[in-house]
Amino acid sequence: MRLFPLLFLAALLPAQEDPAAAAARAMREGRFADAEHLYRGLIKEIPNEPRLQLNLALALHSGKKYADANLAFAQFLKTNPPPGPVHLVAGLSLLKANRPCDAAPVLEKAKRWQASEQVLTELADAYSACKRYPQAATAYSEAAGKATANAGRLKRAAARAYWLARDYSSARPLFAALRPTFSNDAEFLYEFGDTLARTEGSEAGLPLLERSVELAPELTPARGALGRALVEAGRHPEAIPHLTAAAPADATLLMPLSRAYKATGRVEDAARAEQQYRKSLAPQN
Amino acid sequence: MLFLTLAGNWTVAPLGPVLVTGESVKKPLPATTPGGIAVFDYNNDGRLDLFFPNGGAIPTGPKAANTLLRNDGNFQFVNVTAAAGLTGRHYDLGAAAADYNNDGHPDLLTLGLRGLTLYRNEGNGKFTDSTVAAKLDNLGRWSVAAAWFDMENDGDLDLFVVNYVQWNPATEQVCLVAGKPDFCHPRHYAPEPNALFRNNGDGTFTDVSAPSGIAAHKGKGMSVAAADFDADGLIDLYVTNDRTFAFYFRNLGQGKFEECAFARGIAVPQDGNPVSGMGVSAEDYDNDGRPDLVYTALRDETFPLYRNLGQEFEEATGKSRLAPLSRTMAGWGIAFADLDNDGWKDILAARSDALSATGGNAAKAKEPPAWFRNQANGTFALGDGWAKLEPAMYRGLVAADLNADGCLDVVLTALQAPPRVLRSPCQGAGRWLSVDVRELGARVRIGTQTRWVSSASGYASSYLGPLHFGLGAALQVEVEVTWPDGRSKRIATATNRAIQLKP
């Protein structure tokens, strides 16, 4: 799907001499390594031609040499900073190179060029991977507003990003609207249940968390959230197996586990869990 | 004084000079921590005066003057700082008022980035810096809050000082939040022990931090509540720490303390997530005769609330509804206070983020203050009227009846802004009684309500004045006072008045 704009961009750049024509042909025919070689040769001959730098970047990106493509795009954008389609491709290339935090500002420029569904989605993905969840949530919501086919998926991503941003009051109505679509999705039920437990109290979240764990017992974060909610609701014996299962991945759960043990008369287990908790969570400095 | 009307008929007016934080593009951590308040009657004229410690440039440069506002009644305040000698020398954050030398004139301690300053009240409108003479040395530690209390019931007030973290401007990092420079997380700074100074009864103090057991526990202290939590006749201390476990220093007597927050269930909220403990208040919100605890924390951490069951505590943040109500809030100053005089203490909170108002979280940094109405059934609901108050970087909060009309007003500070006073509408409120017993640690009971005299208040703040009781429709009540030395007195009195009781 993303090759089309690349080829389109490449086609916009007319070859002015044979090696250039050959390079463009290589691009059209999917021979990206050949194209790269030809463009590198051309750049040696005409080092200050930004279009050649762009074509090289596109060849590298299409050939999945993302780290090299990132450098070539950066070189081109240094001399061509106005927002444009190249920012989208350069942002994608950075995302592919697993550099989402660097991709975000480049894609922000792409958004200034065109706030399309694709640009907004890529930008949201960059924010999300960079753990800038509030911005991700906003971008996914904007993308959903422009989407036709993907609106549901994007709203789901927005709800999740709000949840990850701990903006539960924004997440809650989105989750509620999506519930009919995702009623058997364990991760969705975990995130929505956790949101309800935090915003309305444990009793509100418990049915969803219980259903989530029923659907996917291996989803340990859901078991942790369920255990916490059960402790909050005073259902200590039921909480213990869930907290025991989830605590190895989340030491903060040792505290509610300790409380659950204590409430059920297991004093030694309670003391042991508390000691483990204190050891795990004590400040390092 | 010009008051602007808010919804719910609360009115607001600015007070005094701007609170200077010294914030710069380098975002030095101290710049997010100022904003204490002291409310006390420094000239014994029966009206509560206001003191605001102030910051200044960081790391060096001019200090912004502290402010003492004399209350001349009817919300008329006069700046008497210079005449009182309270302008200050250091970057000050907090304040604690008490009569440490038992001369009948309340003295003042300021806390700050570079240490303590003890101002002795000369009784003639002037204060004298007696820090050195009193041998009060906090070793240059960054202190935020303090509690004056009589740890051995020997008749003079000792001093507990809350220290925050080790901070060195030379090694201060620049941290990024959402790509913008902002204050660094407390994990970047080493913890400090708190300090305890015994009053020698001759105007001097002895540092007993080590022999008392206090110094053995390093934290990142933000505030302290002093009360006899376990009803053994000795004042205990609860200290909130920033992003780490809270401390509960149980007073064992003989100048010894035992830290047992985990054993009492108040080291960390029951979900196990350590929170950014900020201001704290200890009062009996459920009218069962025992002091409970509430403290502020940052967004998504909720404001933890603990019911005192006698020997341990039960977390009530969820069942009281305070968890969902405070989930989206970040708080600093806090107080239990009966705003509507119905006999049930409400919760008041000064709100704002710990991050900068010009940093990566700028859009959400400023918040309006909030109050939570005690519904007399163990739950709270969001109170009316304050949501329309201008969002700001609120820090300090003290509730006090500034015009003696029987309703509590609220004093607030905010970073880079003048302090402000919220005047209570006092309409439709219940009856009240103001009880002045003039001795820290004294306990006052009226019906099912119990209060303890303590000067430590909320975040970096202090209240030294009469205890306010909301009494609903009661026309006549019986008041029982027990002083720290065991003497007690019981009287019957009509309501809607101020009374003073001495042993």
How distant is the Cα of B215 from the closest Cα of chain A, in angstroms?
Answer: 16
Q: What are phi and psi of A173, to 5 degrees?
A: -65, -30
Q: Which of B274, B318, B327 has its CB closest to that of A281?
A: B274
How distant is the Cα of B191 from the closest Cα of chain A, in angstroms?
Answer: 7
Q: Do B271 and A202 touch (CB under 8 A)?
A: no
**pLDDT of res. B287:** 98
**pLDDT of res. B295:** 98
Q: Do A252 and B318 touch (CB under 8 A)?
A: no
* B126 HSE (CA, 13 A, CB side): 6
B-interface mutation test, from A127, A255, A272, A276, most B Cβ less than 10 A away: A255
What is the largest distance, in Å, between two alpha-carbon atoms of chain A? 85
Q: Do B245 and A281 touch (CB under 8 A)?
A: yes
Q: Which of A134, A232, A255 has its CB closest to that of B318?
A: A232
How distant is the Cα of A54 from the closest Cα of chain B, in angstroms?
Answer: 28
pLDDT surpassing 60 at residue A52: yes
With beta carbons under 8 A apart, name residues in chain B contacting A105. Answer: 179
C-alpha distances (whole Å) from B312 to each of B54, B94, B248, B291, B317 are 38, 30, 11, 11, 16
Q: β-strand B38-40 against B49-52: which pairing, if any?
A: antiparallel
Torsion of the alpha carbons at B461, B53, B26 and B241, rounded to the nearest 10: -20
Residue A278 to residue B8: CA distance in whole angstroms: 45
**pLDDT of res. A4:** 47
How many Cβ pairs closer than 8 A exist between chain A and B?
A: 69
Summarize pLDDT for A161-198 with one digit per residue, the tens.
Answer: 999 988 898 999 999 999 999 999 999 999 999 999 98
- Chain B's closest residue to A267, CA to CA, is B263
Interface of B with A (CB under 8 A): 178-179, 187, 189-191, 220, 243-245, 262, 265, 268, 270-274, 299-300, 318-319, 321, 323-324, 327-328
Q: What is the pTM of this model?
A: 0.87
**pLDDT of res. B6:** 62
Residue B410 to residue B18: CA distance in whole angstroms: 18
How distant is the Cα of B322 from the closest Cα of chain A, in angstroms?
Answer: 10
Q: Do A255 and B272 touch (CB under 8 A)?
A: yes
Q: Which of A252, A281, A285 has its CB closest to that of B190?
A: A285
The dihedral sign for the CA sequence A162, A164, A169, A174: positive
Cβ-Cβ contacts under 8 Å for B304 (sequence gap 6 or more): B269, B275, B293, B294, B295, B297, B315, B317
With beta carbons under 8 A apart, name residues in chain A contacting B318. Answer: 201-202, 232
Q: Do B272 and A283 touch (CB under 8 A)?
A: no
Q: Do A201 and B189 touch (CB under 8 A)?
A: no
How distant is the Cα of A24 from the closest Cα of chain B, in angstroms?
Answer: 39
DSSP H stretches of helix in B259-317: 261-264
With beta carbons under 8 A apart, name residues in chain B contacting A225. Answer: none
With beta carbons under 8 A apart, name residues in chain B contacting A231. Answer: 270-271
How distant is the Cα of B272 from the closest Cα of chain A, in angstroms?
Answer: 5
Question: Across chain A, where does the E strand assignment appear?
Answer: none
Task: Please name which of B401, B478, B400, B466 lies closest in space to residue B436, comparing C-alpha atoms.
Answer: B466
Residue B204 to residue A257: CA distance in whole angstroms: 48
Which residues are bridge partners to B444 per DSSP?
B451, B481
Residue A281 to residue B441: CA distance in whole angstroms: 35
pLDDT-derived band at A2, boundaries 50, 70, 90: very low
A-interface mutation test, from B271, B301, B315, most A Cβ less than 10 A away: B271
Q: β-strand B476-482 against B488-494: which pairing, if any?
A: antiparallel
Kindly state the percentage of chain A with pLDDT values over 90. Answer: 82
With beta carbons under 8 A apart, name residues in chain A contacting B245. Answer: 278, 281-282
pLDDT surpassing 60 at residue A285: no
Residue B469 to residue B406: CA distance in whole angstroms: 9
C-alpha distances (whole Å) from A51 to each of A48, A67, A72, A77, A91 are 9, 19, 11, 11, 18
pLDDT surpassing 90 at residue A17: no
With beta carbons under 8 A apart, name residues in chain A contacting B189. Answer: 285
pLDDT-derived band at A63, boundaries 50, 70, 90: very high
- Chain A's closest residue to B302, CA to CA, is A198
Pick the residue with more confidence: B429 or A71?
A71
**pLDDT of res. A1:** 40
How distant is the Cα of A256 from the closest Cα of chain B, in angstroms?
Answer: 5
Task: Please name which of B57, B59, B77, B76 lies closest in space to residue B68, comparing C-alpha atoms.
Answer: B77
How distant is the Cα of A252 from the closest Cα of chain B, in angstroms?
Answer: 5
pLDDT surpassing 80 at residue A9: no
With beta carbons under 8 A apart, name residues in chain B contacting A200. Answer: 324
B-interface mutation test, from A166, A172, A198, A235, most B Cβ less than 10 A away: A198
Q: Which of A34-43, A106-115, B423-432 has the lowest mean pLDDT?
A: B423-432
Residue A42 to residue A31: CA distance in whole angstroms: 17
DSSP H stretches of helix in B257-378: 261-264, 322-326, 362-365
Query: Residue B277 gets which letter from DSSP?
Result: -
**pLDDT of res. B8:** 65
Residue A264 to residue A44: CA distance in whole angstroms: 77
How distant is the Cα of B381 from the closest Cα of chain A, in angstroms?
Answer: 13
Asked if B55 and B34 count as a contact pair (C-beta separation under 8 A), the reply is yes
Asked if B151 and B251 count as a contact pair (C-beta separation under 8 A), the reply is yes
Q: Do A277 and B272 touch (CB under 8 A)?
A: yes
Q: Which of A169, A253, A285 has its CB closest to that of B328?
A: A169
- Chain A's closest residue to B321, CA to CA, is A201
pLDDT surpassing 60 at residue A3: no
With beta carbons under 8 A apart, name residues in chain B contacting A134. Answer: 178
Q: Do B187 and A284 touch (CB under 8 A)?
A: yes
Torsion of the alpha carbons at B382, B386, B391 and B397, rounded to the nearest 10: -90
Mean pLDDT of the A14-21 span: 68
**pLDDT of res. A178:** 97
Mean pLDDT of the A28-36 span: 95
Q: Which amino acid is at A285?
A: N
Residue B229 to residue B312: CA distance in whole angstroms: 9
With beta carbons under 8 A apart, name residues in chain B contacting A201. Answer: 318-319, 321, 323-324
pLDDT surpassing 50 at residue A62: yes
With beta carbons under 8 A apart, name residues in chain B contacting A172. Answer: none
Q: How far is CA A199 from the centre of its chain?
A: 24
> How would you write the pLDDT of chain B (503 residues) with one tens digit per residue?
667 666 568 899 999 899 999 999 999 999 999 999 999 999 999 999 999 999 999 998 999 999 999 999 999 999 999 999 999 999 999 999 999 999 999 999 999 999 899 999 999 999 999 999 999 999 999 999 999 999 999 999 999 999 999 999 999 988 998 889 999 999 999 999 999 999 999 999 999 999 999 999 999 999 999 999 999 999 999 999 999 999 999 999 999 999 999 999 999 999 999 999 999 999 999 999 999 999 999 988 999 999 999 989 999 998 899 998 998 899 999 999 999 999 999 999 999 999 999 998 898 899 999 999 999 999 999 998 899 899 999 999 999 999 999 999 999 999 999 999 999 998 888 999 999 997 999 999 999 999 999 999 999 999 999 999 999 999 999 999 999 989 999 999 999 999 999 98
How distant is the Cα of A201 from the closest Cα of chain B, in angstroms?
Answer: 6
**pLDDT of res. B238:** 98
Residue B411 to residue B369: CA distance in whole angstroms: 11
Summarize pLDDT for A253-279 with one digit per residue, the tens.
Answer: 999 999 999 999 999 999 999 999 999
Query: Residue B152 gets which letter from DSSP?
Result: T
**pLDDT of res. A173:** 96
pLDDT surpassing 70 at residue A10: no
Averaged confidence pLDDT in chain A:
92
